Amino acid sequence: MPSFLSHHSQPSYYYHHQPIKFHHSSLTLFIPSSSSSSSSRTKPRWPRMDSAASRHRRKDKVVVIMGATGSGKSRLSVELATLFPFSEIINSDKMQVYRGLDITTNKIPFHQRNGVPHHLLGDVDHSHGEFSPSDFRRHAGEIISDITSRRKLPIIVGGSNSFIHALLVERFDPELNVFDKSSSSSSSSLSSISSDLRYKCCFLWMDISFPVLSEYLLKRVDEMFDSGMVDELAQFFEPDSENRTGLRKAIGVPEFDRFFNKYPPADKLEEGENPMREGAYEEAVRAIKDNTCQLAKRQIGKILRLKRAGWDLRRIDATEAFRAVLTSESRGGAGVFSDLWKNQVLEPSVKIVKRFLME
């Protein structure tokens, strides 16, 4: 993950709640106090405060952070979970659920998680087969029930909209792919996307103009290679494997499987240049960049379909923050990014979540 999307520095501004020292931030929000002096303060309505007898009348509250790949969802989720420290994060990226290929799938590193509990992030053994939307609905639903039973807030974050849809809708048909344009007309597909959800949701849609996002994604792929992505893919390589399920569908795996089948990673490079090998390598890199941008475009399309179907998505525009990094890197772009991120992404998101929890 690029340095400007890391979480080494935390926001320093304060809200009307008394700040309490926490192990990963000096600022926290909505910590319940047993002190009688705080009893007069307005307290949030926690997710699922009601008794078992009233469960049929109230839905659990969840925050859902959506957006295309590379749009800063992981950073925002950890920052919100730090500011609202009764939160736990549930990953909804269909490749990041699998164990392994941490660089290739761009999992948030442990040191950037700020001690926030993460669920379904690298938990699934890919050798056990495909982790389907139905599997995600079942497992994530159980995790949400556990989190809310402990009076905590689930934050669902990831770019796999098929997983998010499967989890959230009241009635889910595993045989129906509501995002498959080839199976139905646009109007009938929209009608099959239900706005009847089984949780009370606060949707944050991380959005970046596509030209800016595309340029950033190209930069991110280069940084992933600098971080050791090729070595990771070489270790994962299975010669002549026909398996294209689960983690083996992650962008980077099929592109470099083709390369490694021609130039096995165990082979020692001969002295001097090998134009054929270099050409094949560059072709694999270009394919990864193209496929990553195409993935982002598909994800945005699915988000727009959910919005048109009646999902109440609150758009958070991070375009200027990302543009600052791309255009001002040599002039302290990281600092400019941080200021714009705070003003245009973090603070609006905090206000939305705070209002949601007080409802």
* Rounded-to-10 torsion of CA 164, 166, 167, 168: 80
Distance between CA atoms of residues 306 and 112, nearest Å? 30
- Joined together, the tokens standing for residue 208 give 């970046």
Rounded Cα gap, residues 261 and 239, in angstroms: 6
Provide the pairing of β-strand 200-207 with 313-317. parallel
Percent residues over pLDDT 90 in the chain: 67
| Distance (Å) of CA 238 to CA 127, 233, 234, 253 | 13, 10, 9, 10
Q: CA-CA distance, 103 to 260, in Å (whole number)?
A: 18
Q: Please, which residues bridge with residue 89 across strands?
A: 118, 155
- Segment among 18-32, 199-213, 234-248, 338-352 with least mean pLDDT: 18-32
On whether the CB atoms of residues 239 and 322 are closer than 8 A, the answer is no
CB contact set of 156 (below 8 Å; sequence gap of 6+): 62, 63, 64, 65, 89, 90, 92, 140, 164, 167
Lowest-pLDDT range, 3-17, 46-60, 314-328? 3-17
More confident residue, 141 or 265: 141
What's domain 218-289's architecture? Orthogonal Bundle (1.10)
Measure the CA–CA gap between 174 and 153, rounded to whole angstroms.
27
**Does 342 have pLDDT greater than 90?**
yes
Q: According to CATH, what is the number of the domain 14-31+39-209+312-358? A: 3.40.50.300
Cα separation, 183 vs 188, whole angstroms: 10
Per-residue HEC secondary structure of the chain comes to CCHHHCCCCCCCCCCCCCCCCECCECCCCCCCCCCHHHCCCCCCCCCCCCCHHHCCCCCCEEEEEEECCCCCHHHHHHHHHHHCCCEEEEECCCCCCECCCCCCCCCCCHHHCCCCCEECCCCECHHHCCCCHHHHHHHHHHHHHHHHHCCCEEEEECCCHHHHHHHHECCCCCCCCCCCHHHCCHHHHHHHCCCCECCEEEEEEEECCHHHHHHHHHHHHHHHHHCCHHHHHHHHCCCCCCCCCHHHHCCCHHHHHHHHHHCCCCCCCCCCCCHHHHHHHHHHHHHHHHHHHHHHHHHHHHHHHHHHCCCCEEEEECHHHHHHHHHHHHHCHHHHHHHHHHHHHHHHHHHHHHHHHHC
- Prediction pTM value: 0.82
Q: Render pLDDT for 3-13 as a digit per residue (tens, 0 to 9).
A: 445 554 443 33
Q: What is the pLDDT of residues 169-203, one digit of tens each?
A: 999 998 888 887 654 444 545 557 888 999 999 99
Would you place residue 49 in the very low, low, confident or very high pLDDT band (cuts 50, 70, 90)?
very low
Sign of the CA dihedral with 210 first, then 214, 215, and 220 last: positive
Domain boundaries, the chain: 14-31+39-209+312-358, 218-289
Cα–Cα–Cα angle for 218, 214, 211, rounded to 5 degrees: 140
Q: What are 251-293's pLDDT values in tens digits?
A: 999 999 999 999 998 765 554 578 999 999 999 999 999 999 9
Which pLDDT value is given to residue 110?
94
The answer on pLDDT for 38 being more than 60 is no
